[in-house]
Structures are given as structure tokens and as C-alpha cells.
């Protein structure tokens, strides 16, 4: 029952899983400070927009959305902007949107209740100072998902990829203490969840001063009741032999890696300052595949990066064909103010129509490869975890296999959080359809 006396808070989240996890932390902190989270903005006392700054498009969308959300405010409601865009733009946001009264960067959520209270008293405030110690350890996240839990293990990034705004908006890399992470994982098991996703900008460079990522995978993977351990996003350069061995030896670590490649051209990778070559990336993929049978790899690719020639792009296409990705997130380069890529010579700029044409060819190549891969798996059986009801309204649920494949299976909400054994019966290219073989699945069990 809703406690009418308690003020209500609505949060809208854009961007990556780290932002989703931050929204869960903010809601938990505000709930502990007397606010009631609500699912719709209408009439909410506090409306927060947790933002992403990774591409210009993402920011333009937020500016538009801030205007739309104004209609849902009452005379006493306040609106705040949090996250990477808040960190990047700071006071400019108060200029751009007069109805916004607080702007808080990713390291400022500890002060959020006080800032919200002062905003409700008419003040407009900003908090964008970095805090290298901050991991919000004493916050209790208010989780959106009931099947799997996002577990941030690291904040910030020490790489300096020339197109990326993250080091500017999230600061330098720092890792949580391993016992704190294990304690949180034990907590989500006690809430009935069996899958965790470890989060970091370059999560496999995790190091708390005593333990590295291999130690973390072993410790989290051994928590009693945990059945699946996933993580995102790793960097190819941080896959040490220790980490790969831990992935191969810990039964609960799933057979999927999302390994951003960005480009298949060493020349382009150099200008991106990714710190590996095409050959180095391919070697990392081969080492992972050799150690982990059935491993599926997905990736991120940027087209149209300054200086990318037709030949460079052909190298990206050939890498996609050679490495056999199960799927990919593909983007046209988006210049971000404050990143080195925006200071590259004008003549290196790839015209938008050329970038769009390359994007179309890349999507086609990735989809064709994924579809061919999927077709070879029809008739096979998989253990899947039911994550949610399918969007299409049919009596279908969406389940996920250990190798991160989406499988549509007949069923309803009573199956959420359940493990099933299914037979793969069809594929649309990226998603499978499946038939339930048994409502029990032989599973690796930790502890
Ligand atoms: S590794 Fe590179 S792309 Fe990834 S968050 Fe860090 S700077 Fe950005």
C-alpha cells in the first residue's frame, strides 16, 4: 500500500548497465531517506533523469525528454539530471533547462537526499566533484530486475580511447574490495536471484590492491546459490592467463564474452588508442575460445572513425567474417566534445553518407554471420533462464542461455526466474525460438 505522506520519486535511466545500477543505488538511497519510488512520472514529487553522454544523439534525446517530462510536474515537483551528461555539462544544464533544479554527476549520489530536500525548498544545486573512494558501499540498491542482479565492481576508466567521453564523466579507475562484492552477491542470493552481472568499464582490469579479476570470478562464482556469473565490459588487453583459467575452471562463469573490437584495422585502432592491434585482438579471441568450449563472443564496432579508408573498413568486415561474432552493437562515429578524436585534422573526417553506407554493409555482414552460426545450433538443447515476458504479447517468455542467446519459449510470468532445458527450433538471425524439453535443467551449482 502506497504511504501517501511519503514524497514520491520517479527515475528514468538512459545508457549502459552501469547507469542502471546507479539508478538502483539512487532509488535505494532516496527510499532510505523517506521517498517512495514510483513507476510513472505523473505527479511525482521528484523526477530524476539518469543520463548517458556516449553519443550526441543520446544527449539530444535527453534534452527533448526533459521538456516532455515538465508536463508531468506539479507545482511543487522538482526535476534533476544525474549521470554522465550531468557530469559533462554541469551548470550548462541549469541554463538549458530552467525547470531543472539539481545536476549530479556519478560520484555525487551520496549527497542526493540533501540536494533533493534543498531543491524542494527552491534551491538549484550542482554536484560534479569526483571522489576516488566512492563506491556507495552502504547504499542498498532498489533493484529493477528480479531475475539477475547488476553488481558494479569498479568505477571509472584508466584507458584513454580517443573517441570516448567516459574517463571525463566517470573519472579514473578504482575497484571495490573483494569481500564487499562477495557480501553483495550473497545478499542477492538471499533475495532469490541466482545470476549476477559484474560491471566495470574495463571490468577484467579489476584489482582491489590484493585481488585481481581471476580472484573475483573464483570468489563470486563460489557463493552458495549462485548459478550464473557474467561480466561486462572487458578490455582485450586485460585477459591474463589467470583470468582465462578462472573463466574455464569456475563452473558458474557463463560461456559468453562481450569483447569490444571497435575496428578490424590496426591503423584505425592506433588512432583510437585502443592499445591493441587486429592481430592482438584475434589472438585474444583464439585464447578464450581454446580455453572455453562453446564460448560465444559479441562485440562493439565503430564505423566512420576519422581517417578510416575503404581499405580500413574492408579490414573490419574481414575481421567480422573471420572471428564469427554471435552479435554486435554497431555505431557510426559520434564526435564528443572534449575527446581527442574531435581535435583530429578536418581532412580525416569521414563523410556521413560514406559512414552510413559502411554501416549498412557492416550490419548485413554481422547479421549474415550470426544467422549462419545460429542455424548450425538448431536442434541442440540449452539450459535457459527465463528473464521476462516477451514483448509481443503472445504467451511467450524470453529466456537466456549461458552463451547469452535470447530464446523465445512458450510460457507465462509463472516461469520468470526458472531454469529450463529447451530445444532450439528456429532462429530469426539474432533470437532463437525453443521448445521446452523439461522444466528442470542440470545446472552447475556453486558452493
Ligand atoms: S576502455 Fe576506452 S571505450 Fe571503454 S570506457 Fe574506457 S576509454 Fe571508454
Are both 357 and 431 inside the same structural domain? Answer: no
Are both 75 and 154 inside the same structural domain? Answer: no
Q: Among all chains, which residue has been given the C-alpha cell 579507475?
A: 173
* Beta-strand relationship, 78-83 and 46-51: parallel
Are both 118 and 198 inside the same structural domain? Answer: no
Are both 319 and 174 inside the same structural domain? Answer: yes
pLDDT (tens digit, 9 = 90+) per residue, 70-80? 999 999 999 99
> Mean pLDDT over residues 383-408, rounded?
91
128-134 long-range contacts, CB within 8 A, separation 24+:
128/86, 128/87, 128/90, 128/103, 128/104, 129/105, 130/105, 130/171, 130/172, 131/107, 132/156, 132/171, 132/172, 132/174, 133/174, 134/107, 134/110
Find out whether the beta carbon of 169 lies less than 6 Å from any atom of ligand 1: no
Are both 15 and 62 inside the same structural domain? Answer: yes
Are both 170 and 264 inside the same structural domain? Answer: yes
Atom of ligand 1 nearest to the CA of 165: 8
Percentage of the chain lying above the pLDDT 70 cut? 97
Are both 266 and 252 inside the same structural domain? Answer: yes
Phi, psi of 370 (to 5 degrees): -65, -40
C-beta of residue 311 within 8 angstroms of C-beta of residue 264: no
Task: Using pLDDT thresholds of 50, 70 and 90, give the confidence band for residue 443.
Answer: very low
Are both 332 and 289 inside the same structural domain? Answer: yes
* Domain that includes residue 330, residue range: 148-375
Q: Please say which residue of 339, 357, 375 terminates a domain.
A: 375
Residue 296 has pLDDT above 80, yes or no: yes
Find out whether the beta carbon of 161 lies less than 6 Å from any atom of ligand 1: yes
The predicted structure's pLDDT at residue 446: 46
Are both 203 and 271 inside the same structural domain? Answer: yes
Do the domain assignments include residue 282? yes
> CATH code at 396?
2.40.50.140
Kindly state the cell numbers that stand for 294.
562453446
* Beta-strand relationship, 431-438 and 419-427: antiparallel
pLDDT (tens digit, 9 = 90+) per residue, 251-292? 999 999 999 999 999 999 999 999 999 999 999 999 999 999
Are both 163 and 87 inside the same structural domain? Answer: no
C-alpha 128/C-alpha 103 separation (Å) is 8
The predicted structure's pLDDT at residue 55: 86
How many domains does the structure of the chain reveal?
3
Are both 86 and 177 inside the same structural domain? Answer: no
Atom of ligand 1 nearest to the CA of 233: 4
Q: Whose CA is nearest to atom 4 of ligand 1?
A: 201
Q: Give distance in angstroms: CA of 235 to centre of ligand 1.
A: 8
This prediction has a pTM of: 0.95
Amino acid at each position: 500500500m502506497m504511504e501517501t505522506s511519503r514524497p514520491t520519486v520517479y527515475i528514468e535511466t538512459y545508457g549502459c548497465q552501469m547507469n542502471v545500477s546507479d539508478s538502483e543505488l539512487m532509488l535505494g538511497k532516496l527510499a532510505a531517506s523517506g521517498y517512495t519510488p514510483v513507476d510513472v512520472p505523473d505527479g511525482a514529487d521528484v523526477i530524476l533523469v539518469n543520463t548517458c553522454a556516449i553519443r550526441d544523439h543520446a544527449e539530444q534525446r535527453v534534452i527533448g525528454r526533459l521538456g516532455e517530462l515538465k508536463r508531468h510536474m506539479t507545482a511543487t515537483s522538482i526535476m534533476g539530471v544525474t549521470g554522465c551528461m550531468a557530469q559533462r555539462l554541469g551548470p550548462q544544464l541549469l541554463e538549458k533547462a530552467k525547470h531543472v533544479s539539481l545536476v549530479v554527476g556519478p560520484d555525487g549520489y551520496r549527497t542526493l537526499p540533501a540536494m533533493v530536500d534543498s531543491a524542494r525548498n527552491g534551491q538549484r544545486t550542482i554536484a560534479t566533484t569526483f571522489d576516488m573512494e566512492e563506491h556507495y558501499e552502504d547504499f542498498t540498491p532498489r533493484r529493477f530486475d528480479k531475475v539477475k542482479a547488476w553488481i558494479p565492481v569498479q568505477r571509472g576508466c584508466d584507458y584513454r580511447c580517443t573517441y570516448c567521453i567516459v574517463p571525463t564523466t566517470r573519472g579514473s579507475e578504482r575497484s571495490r574490495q573483494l569481500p564487499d562484492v562477495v557480501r553483495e552477491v550473497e545478499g542477492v542470493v538471499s533475495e532469490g536471484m541466482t545470476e549476477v552481472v559484474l560491471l566495470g568499464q574495463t571490468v577484467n582490469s579489476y584489482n582491489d590492491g590484493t585481488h585481481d579479476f581471476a580472484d573475483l570470478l573464483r570468489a563470486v562464482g563460489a557463493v552458495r546459490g549462485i548459478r550464473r556469473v557474467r561480466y561486462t565490459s572487458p578490455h582485450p588487453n586485460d585477459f591474463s592467463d589467470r583470468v582465462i583459467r578462472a573463466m574455464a575452471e569456475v563452473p558458474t562463469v557463463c560461456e559468453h564474452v562481450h569483447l569490444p573490437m571497435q575496428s578490424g584495422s590496426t591503423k584505425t585502432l592506433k588512432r583510437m588508442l585502443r592499445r591493441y592491434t587486429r592481430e592482438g585482438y584475434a589472438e585474444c579471441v583464439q585464447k578464450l575460445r581454446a580455453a572455453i568450449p562453446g564460448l560465444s563472443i559479441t562485440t562493439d564496432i565503430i564505423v566512420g572513425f576519422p581517417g578510416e579508408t575503404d581499405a580500413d573498413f574492408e579490414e573490419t568486415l574481414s575481421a567480422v567474417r573471420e572471428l564469427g561474432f554471435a552479435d554486435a552493437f554497431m555505431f557510426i562515429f559520434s564526435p564528443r566534445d572534449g575527446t581527442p578524436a574531435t581535435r583530429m585534422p578536418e581532412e580525416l573526417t569521414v563523410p556521413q553518407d560514406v559512414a552510413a553506407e559502411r554501416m549498412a554493409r557492416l550490419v548485413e555482414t554481422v547479421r549474415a554471420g550470426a544467422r549462419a552460426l545460429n542455424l548450425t545450433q538448431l536442434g541442440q538443447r540449452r539450459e535457459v533462464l527465463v528473464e521476462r515476458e516477451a514483448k509481443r504479447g503472445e504467451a511467450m517468455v524470453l529466456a537466456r542461455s549461458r552463451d547469452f542467446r535470447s530464446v523465445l519459449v512458450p510460457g507465462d510470468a509463472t516461469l520468470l526466474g526458472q531454469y529450463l532445458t529447451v530445444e532450439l527450433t528456429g532462429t530469426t538471425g539474432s533470437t532463437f525460438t525453443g521448445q521446452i524439453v523439461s522444466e528442470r535443467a542440470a545446472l552447475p551449482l556453486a558452493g
